[in-house]
Structures are given as C-alpha cells and as structure tokens.
Amino acid sequence: MFGLYELNEVNTVNEKAWLDVAITRCPNCGRHYADASWYIIEMSSDIECGNCHTNFNTKKHVSNRIMLGLKIDDEGRVEATEVAEHL
Ligand SMILES: [Zn+2]
C-alpha cells in the first residue's frame, strides 16, 4: 500500500504545467493584478485600473514575477498550484 502511494507521487510530480506570471501594481491606488508575463513584458501595454480607473503602463509597474507550477491530474485538469520560483 505504501509502495502504491509512492508510485502515485512520482506520477504526480511528472505531470506539471508552468505559467510565467507578472504581478503589477496600480501606481495610484495600489491594487494588484496578475497577468501572463509574456503579455506584460512583450506587449508592454497600458491598462486601466478596475478600481480607480487610472491608466498605467503594466511593464513599468511590475512588483513581482513568478513561475507558477500547476499540478495536472490524469484527465489534464489542474489539481493544485504552487509558486515554483521567483524570477
Ligand atoms: Zn488603481
């Protein structure tokens, strides 16, 4: 029984997907937003804050960038998430 548990653990570790996420912060009200990093870094677009309606450039206001690890089950559905790395 313990051996079966170990086998499942190995399978779970292998089934992972990754998402590079950038956290941006509104310079006016401080509200945080999460978006895919490619969108923030490469598009470097302006967005309107949903809270205070200030327009700001997302790339200039990145407060954190992380690699998000998503554990995927046998059916391809997300089981759990974790912060794999701070970039
Ligand atoms: Zn704001």
Backbone angles phi, psi at 54, to 5 degrees: -80, 135
Q: How confident is the model at residue 6 (pLDDT cuts 50, 70, 90)?
A: low
Structure pTM?
Answer: 0.74
In this predicted structure, the answer to whether residue 12 has a pLDDT above a threshold of 80 is no
Q: CA 85 to CA 47: how far, in whole Å?
A: 26
* Per-residue pLDDT tens digits for 39-75: 998 888 899 999 999 999 999 999 999 999 999 999 9
Q: CA 54 to CA 26: how far, in whole Å?
A: 8
Q: CA 18 to CA 53: how far, in whole Å?
A: 31
Q: What is the pLDDT of residue 28?
A: 97
The CA 12 to ligand 1 mean position distance, Å, reads 39
Q: CA 58 to CA 39: how far, in whole Å?
A: 9
The CA 40 to ligand 1 mean position distance, Å, reads 17
- Structural domain count of the chain: 1
Q: Work out the burial of residue 14: count CB atoms within 10 Å of its CB; fewer than 13 is exposed, 13-18 middle, 19 or more buried.
A: exposed
Task: Please name which of 85, 53, 49 lies closest in space to residue 67, comparing C-alpha atoms.
Answer: 85
Q: What is the pLDDT of residue 9?
A: 54
Q: What is the pLDDT of residue 1?
A: 46
The CA 45 to ligand 1 mean position distance, Å, reads 16
Q: Which domain holds residue 75?
A: 5-86
